[in-house]
Amino acid sequence: MRIFICGFGTVGQGFAEVIASRRDFFDKRYGERAIIVGAMDSRTYAYDPEGCDPLGLVERKKATGRVGETEYTDSVEVLKGIEYDILVEVSPTNVETGGVGLLNIRHALESEKDVITVNKGPLALKFRELIELAKANSCKFRFEGSVGGAMPIINLCRENLRGESIMSIRGILNGTCNFILSKMDKGQPFEQALKEAQQMGYAETDPTNDIEGYDSACKAVILANSIFGRDVTFKDVKITGITSITEEAIAMAATRNMVIRLIAEISDTKLEVAPRLIPKGHPLGITGTMNTAQIVSDLAGPVTVSGRGAGRIETASAILSDLVAIMDERVVG
């Protein structure tokens, strides 16, 4: 199975490392290897139809800041000249237009290539279009890592809970906000907690997408569309971030044996991201950077899942699970 990676930042490099570490797994399970024939960053690309050395790609990127020696200006034109079976699209998220990720995914599906992505932008804006495009061209299109990183939720709902009626999902889908609120529980002011999150690499220099709830909203859209069969976009989410939460509000919650958490709520009729009061000890009252979600179905009742919502290897593990699912269908049949 020939793989091309669009986006060679933290997650793309992590996925290359995972592929290198799982060679024996693919040999034993399928009698063939999953090979990376190339990778693309924002300026350059590398391509070898016989397969690139995954660790070599990572080493070159770290040493030079470039994954390849060939420069480009149009990612779709690059894809047109490459032979591959699966596109792994992990370019930076753009929630306003979908960015190059949307262009890359759209082209791959139109070219009858399978796609795995963790890129929230295209899914939050053009989910229905991409699903229908994949169906029209008999392509596999999977995106487990787009919500919750290593936390298994999309495939759990669509495969393990298949046949059940899922009534609602409530969850913490942004580890940065949870880290900040956890620090505020201990008496830190918001700005100090945010600064610490930035220093530890949990928050970007511009933390707007996290603290204003936009990142959680994108993930809520993906869950609404993929689990509940809705046709919504980012603009349909009612969003309230955490910037208005005061030390006084945190202290007041504590007197009631509760904490405040940024909760995404998704159902057939609800699509909202907002701070909520959560009882201490409740599964959604966790501290730190973990993501967690409570899925309520008619037969299994409440099912709670949690996991690391970000990280190179953690998110790469979700991409690996999608790759295995595709190869099980394509290779094993």
Residues with catalytic function: 219
Residues 6+ apart with CB under 8 A from 185: 250, 254, 259, 287
Rounded alpha-carbon distances, angstroms, from residue 217 to 120, 225, 238: 10, 12, 8
Distance from C-alpha of 309 to C-alpha of 290, rounded to nearest angstrom: 6
Residue pointed to by tokens 């809705």? 230
The amino acid that residue 80 corresponds to is K
Two tokens, residue 72: 């480009």
Half-sphere exposure for 212 (CA within 13 Å, toward CB): 8
Q: Is 117 helix (H, G, I), strand (E, B) or coil?
A: strand
Cross-strand bridge partners of residue 305: 293
Q: How crowded is residue 297: how many other Cβ atoms within 10 Å of its Cβ?
A: 17
Distance from C-alpha of 6 to C-alpha of 176, rounded to nearest angstrom: 25
